[in-house]
Structure 1
Amino acid sequence: MPTIVVEVMPKAELLDPQGKAVAASLARLGKTQFTGVRIGKRFEVTVDGPVDDATLAEIRELAVDMFSNSVIEDVVEITVDGVSADEDLR
């Protein structure tokens, strides 16, 4: 069964308090080569049957309407079994 992965990240211009907290923890651990962390969400959707254009259209709609909050987040990538389904989602 194919798996569709949708990755969602906070918009670049917004603060990411979780990422900032992780970055500060890394610095306290002496991991100073890492200067920034951003934390997002990953959705894995298993499909019963082949992934066709209609399935991809439906997952794109779900990604924008349900998986992400378009005010503060961007859908950055949709892949099907590791292969990009979209070149430009933004």
Structure 2
Amino acid sequence: MGTRLNPEVVISDSPADQPTEPTPESESDQQPPVDAGETPEVKINSIGNKDGGTARIGQGYVIIAPDTKVCGRATVRIETAKQNVAFADVFE
């Protein structure tokens, strides 16, 4: 098990007790998959609040774009990109 120095301290040679490599960034620390100004082509999957179409890219990242139709494809310009959602305008 290891060498016991006192009741509170144990030195172990077990690999399981050694520090591990840093884990990848947690979901809350990740950057959005798009940046403001980018113009991706997206497929509109549904209509959200206030007639904005919603598209998903990557692992479920949501892009909201007004004046779009369900099942339509649109090229959009990302205006604001947040951690879990982006707001875009249709780009022509």
Shorter-chain TM range is: under 0.3
Larger RCO (CA within 8 A; separation ≥ 6)? 1
Structure 1 or 2: more helix by fraction: 1
